[in-house]
């Protein structure tokens, strides 16, 4: 009796049709957090985003500081055409809020928005963008309030920015507790504004106090303040300055780690 002919391997239906859907890799959502305000979160996000674009990474910077957005200021953009606030208040598709400024794709907030921002599920909001980028960098608000929690919940990993001072390190511990509570993997700590003064904590002391690896040490550098005032990330404004060199180093190591994140 003639047996059933076997399908040649090449004619087998693709895996997807056999019930194993192959999904393209989605963007890693990396949030930049600090409990204390003004430590350098937006500086880190703007410079990482700019450097990662130079490294040919598909990255999007996203202003998750809905109460006091200032990512646009770091790129000299004060009045973005479409903002995340427009998306939230009028149910516009999130793609309409993606702007490209200085070559960097980003979603900005409205500085002029005065109404209360309605609680937003950032994970859902970001979802349509995840197929288009390798990494979404979230610029968080300071503190540990509801908008920070919304950002935390959307993250697949986080970077914690701190300064080398005892009060800042003490409040940074709160951010670690929040990371634990919401089970967000910590990529590491960036110590910003290191001036080498005797009253500063050393990187070793910070590592010991926080118990996590320090992945970047950015010096105090007047060029950073100048660049913020000029609305151009320091990696572009003064690429050879000390701070720019360290920020670019951090971007390269993040780019390398992207495969394993």
- CB nearer to Mg ion: give 49 or 134: 49
Burial label, 6 (beta-carbon count in 10 A; 0-12, 13-18, 19+): exposed
Contact partner at residue 108 from ligand ATP, Mg ion, none, CB < 5 to 8 Å by partner kind: none
The binding site for Mg ion (CB under 5 A) comprises: 41-42
Among 15, 37, 181, 202, binds ligand ATP (CB under 6 A): 37
Find out whether 191 and 164 touch, Cβ atoms under 8 Å: yes
Kindly state the smallest distance separating residue 145's Cβ from ligand ATP, in Å.
Answer: 12
Contact partner at residue 225 from ligand ATP, Mg ion, none, CB < 5 to 8 Å by partner kind: ligand ATP
* CA 95 to chain CA centroid, nearest Å: 18
- CB nearer to Mg ion: give 134 or 221: 221
Contact partner at residue 162 from Mg ion, ligand ATP, none, CB < 5 to 8 Å by partner kind: none
The site that binds ligand ATP (CB under 6 A) totals a number of residues, namely: 20
Which residues sit opposite 103 in a β-bridge?
Answer: none
**Residue 220 sits in the site that holds ligand ATP (CB under 6 A):** yes
**Residue 192 sits in the site that holds ligand ATP (CB under 6 A):** yes
Classify the C-alpha dihedral 206-208-211-212 as positive or negative.
Answer: positive
Among 85, 193, 238, 248, binds ligand ATP (CB under 6 A): 193
Among 228, 232, 251, 255, binds ligand ATP (CB under 6 A): 228
φ and ψ at residue 164, rounded to 5 degrees: -85, 45
- CA dist 157 and 130 (Å) reads 14
**Residue 162 sits in the site that holds ligand ATP (CB under 6 A):** no
Site for ligand ATP in 73-112 (CB under 6 A): none
Which residues sit at the interface with ligand ATP, rule CB under 6 A?
34, 37-43, 65, 70, 142, 192-193, 218, 220-221, 224-225, 228, 243
């Amino acid at each position: 009796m003639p047996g059933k002919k076997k399908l040649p391997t090449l004619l087998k239906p693709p895996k997807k049709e056999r019930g194993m859907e192959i999904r393209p890799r989605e963007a890693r959502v990396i949030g930049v957090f600090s409990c204390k305000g003004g430590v350098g979160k937006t500086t880190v996000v703007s410079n990482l985003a700019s450097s990662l674009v130079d490294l040919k990474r598909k990255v999007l910077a996203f202003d998750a500081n809905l109460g006091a957005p200032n990512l646009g200021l770091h790129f000299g953009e004060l009045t973005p055409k479409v903002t995340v606030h427009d998306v939230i208040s009028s149910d516009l598709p999130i793609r309409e809020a993606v702007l490209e400024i200085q070559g960097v794709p980003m979603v900005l907030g409205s500085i002029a928005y005065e109404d209360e921002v309605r609680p937003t599920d950032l994970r859902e909001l970001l979802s349509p963008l995840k197929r288009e980028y390798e990494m979404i960098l979230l610029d968080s608000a300071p503190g540990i309030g509801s908008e920070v929690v919304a950002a935390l919940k959307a993250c697949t990993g986080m970077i914690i920015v701190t300064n080398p001072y005892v009060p800042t390190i003490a409040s940074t511990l709160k951010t670690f507790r929040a990371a634990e509570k919401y089970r967000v993997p910590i990529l590491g700590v960036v110590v910003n504004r290191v001036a080498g003064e005797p009253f500063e904590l050393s990187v070793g002391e910070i590592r010991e106090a926080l118990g996590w690896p320090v992945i970047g040490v950015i010096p105090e550098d007047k060029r950073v303040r100048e660049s913020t005032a000029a609305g151009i990330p320091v990696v572009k404004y003064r690429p050879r300055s000390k701070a720019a060199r360290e920020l670019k180093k951090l971007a390269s190591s993040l780019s390398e780690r992207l495969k394993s994140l």
